[in-house]
Structure 1
Amino acid sequence: MKKSHGPAFRKELRPLMVCGICRGATVVSGVFHQLDCTACNASGWICAQTGEALPPAELVQQLSLKLRNALAELARASQPLGGAHELYEQNNRRGAGGSNFTGD
């Protein structure tokens, strides 16, 4: 079912890219000191689709979604792969008195 009006049911992850002006550093060099980058609102990130800076509230939400996705992917990658070793170590209760039987 496609919504035609009103707020979205879920927040969508918008593609972000590093600001081309400050190159993600959040500041640009002035004559004597560093100034906040106005192209990205001193965040280092801009919308990849429009090339404009996101409002701070939207940026916080988008970075939080991006961080949660990255942490979930990292957790999936760090989980050990299951296999014969795990089955060998688990108690299968097939031995005498419900002990482990490995078949060796």
Structure 2
Amino acid sequence: MKKSHGPAFRKERVELAPCSACRGKAVVKGVFFDLACDNCSASGWVEALTGNALPADELVTQLSLRLQAAERQIQEMRTSRAMGPEGIYQEGNRRGAGGTTYTGD
């Protein structure tokens, strides 16, 4: 069933890109000191397709979605198990003396 009115069920992800004016640093070099970048509203990020700055509330949401995805990826990398012969070698099999791991070495 297609939704016809009201807010969306899920928040749509917007692709972000570093600002081309400040190169993602949120500040540009002035004559004497750094100035807030006007192109990206001093965030360092713009919408990838249009190059326009996002409103602050939308930017916070999009950065949070990216952070959550990155944390999920880090967690998956930490919990990934070794495969093949290495996995068998490191896995505890309780076949050794006193229930220790027997590796055959």
Query: Which band: TM-score by shorter chain?
Result: 0.7 to 0.9
The one-letter code matched in structure 1 to 2:53 is A
The one-letter code matched in structure 2 to 1:11 is K
Q: Percent identity?
A: 48
1:36, 1:18 → 2: CA distance? 15
How well do the aligned residues superpose, as a CA RMSD in angstroms? Answer: 2.2
Could you list the runs of 5+ residues in structure 2 that have no partner in the other structure?
none
The answer for the alignment partner of 2:18 in structure 1 is 18
1:66, 1:59 → 2: CA distance? 11
> Which runs of 4 or more aligned residues in structure 1 lie more than 6 Å from their structure 2 counterparts after TM superposition?
none
The answer for the alignment partner of 2:55 in structure 1 is 55
Question: Which is worse superposed, 47-56 or 37-46?
Answer: 47-56
Give TM-score scaled by structure 1 length: 0.77
The answer for the alignment partner of 1:84 in structure 2 is 88
Q: CA 1:16 to 1:89, structure 2 compared with 1: closer, same or farther past 3 Å?
A: same
Give TM-score scaled by structure 2 length: 0.76
Could you list the runs of 5+ residues in structure 1 that have no partner in the other structure?
92-98
2:4, 2:33 → 1: CA distance? 49
The one-letter code matched in structure 2 to 1:50 is T
- Match of 1:89, SS state, is coil
